[in-house]
Structure 1
Amino acid sequence: MKHIIGGIQWAVFLLASSIAAPIAIAHVFGMDTVETTLFIQRTMFVLGLACLIQAFVGHRLPINEGPAGLWWGIFVVYAGMVGVMYPSSGDALQALQSGMIVSGILFILLAITGLISKMKTLFTPAVTFTYLMLLILQLSGTFLKGMVGVETHSDRIDGLLFLGSLLVVLVTFFTMNHKVPWVKRYSVLLSIGIGWILFLVIGKAGFVHSEFDGWIQFPQVLVYGMPVWDSGMFITAGFITLLLIANMMASIRVMESLLKQSFSITPPDRMKQGSIASGLNHLFAGLFSAIGPVPISGAAGFVGATRIASIKPFIVGSIIVIVITIFPAIMSVFAALPAPVAYAVTFAIFTKMVEMAFRELSVEPNQERGYKVAAVGLMIGVGIMFIPQESMSDLPNAISAVLSNGLITGTVIAILIEQFYLWRERRRT
């Protein structure tokens, strides 16, 4: 029974933390209500399937898959090319669909050739600390804007919405630190449920009515047509794949560290299998015309908050997500979850990530070198976050996608700087 309740909690967390991406992408491509619902359905189906693939043949860790932020950015960039490089939204989405299939193939090839295993050594405690802090800093603004109801520059802070969000944050902290074990274990589920009820009471939540006649509708494949040859998209997919590998490694490294420090669990090294699974997941994302998935580092915060390290509830939750996607009416209900509630609960969960980041840095054997690596990586990564994406519009798509992402750029800089210091130390000896 506890695995079922834990699975429901995982399913709610996966849906709440991932539903914003397909909604936003559907908006920039001008999809109507039905197209948006189906896009959400396909994306959530792929995410649930991706979690199962990782659980059984991949890294075998309780790390939920979410829409990759890098792919999210590329979708937005390509939406801006409609009418310029692509005649219609369908043509741009067809190119993106093809790019994810290419990315899946590259994931598998890099794993088979053994390059993945060599790349794992790059994620030292100092680099992992830099990655975690950049992730937290990048998302904190999104969380706070969502909690006060600000989506565009013209929006004004909604005081009632902010008050409701603040109460949800306090409820989440209270349940996460409760003395009763079962309250702490299901803190996320309880907080989302209480928050949803609270927003209904204050009139800040509504319901989405399904526009589908049938009860069951399976996700469609190759919605935008057969894969096409698009050289620009394929080059972009190559860059994105390398960066997603870095993202995947960091997420696995963070979860491994949490399991060792907090649960005395030492998981086996399955980075190669995780990469092959990520390749399969991208192939499915292309096949089902969805968003490419990536292991989410926030899963470590979720496990740390709920104290559920077992992978069985995670598997149950993934199955629940897949089943839910087959019923459009149920998907419509989950789509009605007030965004500020999801942001508020996730905000509280990510405070655990800050704790983990500093614990990582504390185990760095060479503290002085670690401080230098983190300082430069953080300054460059955070600095890039303040540069408007529009200012990079004249750059090639692949370069723009990389440089506009402070998380990835800062992490890569940290890796390069640390490798330089290590090379210089070896040379001196």
Structure 2
Amino acid sequence: MHRIFNSLTIFSSVQWLFFIFANTVVVPISLGSIFQLPTETIAMMLRSSLILTGVACILQGWIGHRYPLMEGHSGLLWGVMLNLGISASALGMSFEQIGGGIATGILLAGVVTVFIAVFNLIEYVQKIFSPMVTSVYLFLLTFQLIFIFFQGMLKVSDDGSLNVPVSLLSVSIVILVSLLKIKGNAVIGNFSILIGIVVGWVLYVLLFPQFIEQPVSTGFAISLFPLGQPNLQYGIVAVAFFAGVLNLSNTIASIRAAASLFKEEADNSQYRKSFFLTGLFAFVSPVFGLVPYTPFTSSIGFLQSTRIFHKDPFFIGGGMLVLIGLIPPFGDFLSTMPVTIGNAVLFVAYLQLFGTAYNSLNGTVLNSFTVFRVAGPVLLGVCLLNISPEILSSVPILLQPFLSNGLIMGVVLSILMESCINWEKIGQREV
């Protein structure tokens, strides 16, 4: 009992709470905005997201993969769903038709995920998402997240210009958290994320009260399938289904990275149970208009930053998130956390993910021939991450969500290259 409620555990739990919340709150709000849903529906989605995210974290850490990894809304599927919502008018469909097709595709992907777990087909999935594919995924995920958080920590005015004072505060928080991590003692370094959020939030309120966000009320209205009732818009269903299945690469990468961090090898049952839970939550997510769940590989960066590896704070943080979802005033308060400050702190936390990606190569020696094995998929993905989606406007509309997503295309290219090329034989050629 004393171990659970000592001061370090309490602060660690709050730190986990802020980390999970900062990674969660923007997803349902952005999705509801793109699909032009009423405020009360968005509030319901946010409340449902907080509750389900907390429950998913606890279940995965307890009976799933059993690692302290945040279970959150899939970044890959989030991007695909936003892209489809933005493209509704170009597709000649209503938001309800798009959302319903997405729901059907996600439900089918959930069926496949549960099927893989029940019939123990994990070995075949691992062959597809080989260690090299996982490395490519980790590199691209690092670049994608860093781009997102760098842009998010900068305050852009309505006229498109940079708000220098607010942006400088974000940069200052990045420097503060980095110095606390590098120069601080063990305790301060472990809580650098929490310190950065609290200090940044207080300074933001004192210096820029005019920019304080109004709370998003998390009232108790309930709306089922808010994005649209499941339908058979085959193109939309296919896109959502493919992205949902490809999302399994995130689970493989997360568990492998966590096992490496804990200096152990994950057994088959951990993958199997994690897949099963991911599949079950894929059935629940579209009912509340949410992005499906997946273990967050980026949690590895958080763990490496805090150096707090035991699971008690993780479970308590997840439980606190559930309570926040159940008690609206708590959610209302946390929803006022400055977005720029949250992104600045996450920017530092996810710098560690680059080390995870690098270490996942396991000392693989690359010569002038085999370097294509990594460089091809990673650099293609980075290029696609940095081009404007409008460039692909002449491409068939249903291919655009794939081709404009550097993470998807990089992973797909890596899978093809690993399947079709004998890299060991090429590696033996003289340079």
TM-score by length of 2: 0.87
1:139 to 127, 137, 145: 145
Aligned-pair identity in percent equals 25
Instruction: Map 1:6-405; keep pairs closer than 5 Å.
Output: 6-80=12-86, 82=88, 88-150=94-156, 155-203=160-208, 205-209=211-215, 217=220, 221-223=224-226, 227-260=230-263, 265-269=264-268, 270-364=270-364, 366-368=365-367, 371-393=371-393, 395=395, 399-405=399-405
Aligned residue identity for 1:156: S
Distance 1:155 1:29 in 2: 23
The alignment's C-alpha RMSD in Å is 2.9
Flag the 1:96–1:44 CA change in 2: closer, same or farther, 3 A.
farther
Question: Does the aligned pair in 1 maintain the 2:18–2:194 contact within 8 Å?
Answer: yes
Change (3 A) 1:284 1:202: same
Q: Give the drift of 1:203.
A: 0.8
- Corresponding pairs, count: 420
Change (3 A) 1:31 1:289: closer
Does structure 1 conserve the Cα–Cα contact (< 8 Å) formed by 2:98 and 2:236? no
Give unmatched runs, 5+ long, in structure 1.
Answer: none
Native 8 Å contact 1:126 1:371 kept in 2: no
Structure 1 residues 85 and 359, CA, compared in 2 at 3 Å: closer, same or farther?
closer
Question: Per-residue deviation at 1:409?
Answer: 1.4
Which deviates more, 22-31 or 391-400? Answer: 391-400
**Please, which moves more after superposition, 89-98 or 325-334?**
89-98
CA distance in 1, matches of 2:273, 2:215: 41
1:212-233 CA distance string (max 9 Å, x none): 7xxx738654446754444333
Distance 1:117 1:123 in 2: 10
CA distance in 2, matches of 1:137, 1:331: 30
Gaps of 5+ in 2: none
Q: Which amino acid aligns with 1:146?
A: G
**Which residue identity does 2:366 align to in structure 1?**
Q
Alignment partners' CA distance in 2, 1:358 and 1:185? 22
Q: CA deviation at 1:305?
A: 0.5
Q: Deviations over 1:22-70 (max 9, x none)?
A: 2222222223433322222222222222212312332111111222223
Supply the distance in 1 between the matched residues of 2:146 and 2:351 (Cα, whole angstroms): 10
1:217-264: CA deviation from partner (whole Å, max 9, x where unpaired): 38654446754444333322321122101122122222222222xxxx
Where 1:294 maps in the other structure, the secondary structure is strand
Q: Is the 8 A contact 1:102 1:237 kept in 2?
A: no
Name the counterpart of 2:416.
416
Check 1:312–1:151 CA distance in 2 against 1; reply closer, same or farther (3 A cut): farther
TM-score, normalisation: structure 1: 0.87
1:3 aligns to what? 9
In structure 1, what is the Cα distance between the partners aligned to 2:307 and 2:370? 29
The residue matched to 2:161 in structure 1 has which SS? coil
